[in-house]
Chain A
Amino acid sequence: MSDIEQKDKPATQPEWVKDERTLTNSALPSEEQDWFCDARPRRVEKHWQVLENFMNWARAHSLWILAFGTGCGAIEMRPLVTARYDISRLGMQMRPTPRQASVFVIGGYVSLKTLKRIVRSYEQMQGPKFVVAVCSCAINGGMYWDSYNTIKRIDEYIPVDVYVTGCMPRPEAVLAGFNLLKKLIREGKAEGQNLYADKFDWYKANQKQVIKDWNMPDYNW
């Protein structure tokens, strides 16, 4: 939660006291509501710019990708680790679990069913986390612009740092997208995690608007 909202809270009240801003997880069965956390994501402030610059350099040179093939664009991720393109020379590697990854690659069209998994995986990633959306479908629906089951704009549901156009983009284009992401990280502009924390209610409202049977915890980390 942002600074202004934090000031509204009485100073004497500890963090764990439940108030109206506590998440309820009301979509879950009552015995499961306590299994998940009820705290909102919090904005993380950076303090020491010199240290932050160094950390951003380290983050940019050690991008770990969450290898989650959401659509057909995921096919273009596999050549990246082969000898021809070899992202490991840039310090990147595929990571099988969202806990350890820092880049979420949305590979192509996002159906409603996938969106649920995307939201959960994104929330399970540890910050700072970045999102690269590959393919036209993730940008504006692409060839699925009139489909009944495809999300048209992924940036209304999770914050996106870099878009890569194409149907499907060549691995060179994806690499160019990753280079742009690196540049943004080193300039300190890739703050998707803080954006998600600041506009948490807006993102949640958007997600719940299209996911009709919301049966997940409200914030899953």
Chain B
Amino acid sequence: MSTPNYTHRITVQASTEHLSEVRDFVASYATKHGVSSHEVEDIRLAVDEAYTNIIKHAYQYDDSRFVEIVMGSEKDEFWVSLKDNGKSFNPTEYPDPDVEERIKKKERGGVGVYLMKKLMDRIEYHKHDGTNEIRMIKKL
């Protein structure tokens, strides 16, 4: 016996201009579905990092492109997927950064994926028919 899980989806233009709107949208959905405020904050930041990576790496700041965000919750987990049709980037293969070394080299960035991994319980990457999907799962 299975009942369809309630999911929610939005499609947003790939621009940093929409970052706070995306964060608030995901946070308000998670809050409504009983996710604790501490966990909502983790999810908010992980989604910000994933969406920012798509803007930068998958679409290279082409704001005519779109990102689809789908999320849902089941009894003991909350999941959120971000889908794009840009350049592939598999965060699960991205090495953990040495922050001290990066600072010495005056390199910024490269820490967003690490944050996503720390904040969420599981990160998956799927590619199908030119669509990249990053799925992040938080156990509740």
Q: Are these two chains actual partners, yes or no?
A: no
**Residues in B lying within 8 Å of A, measured CB to CB:** none
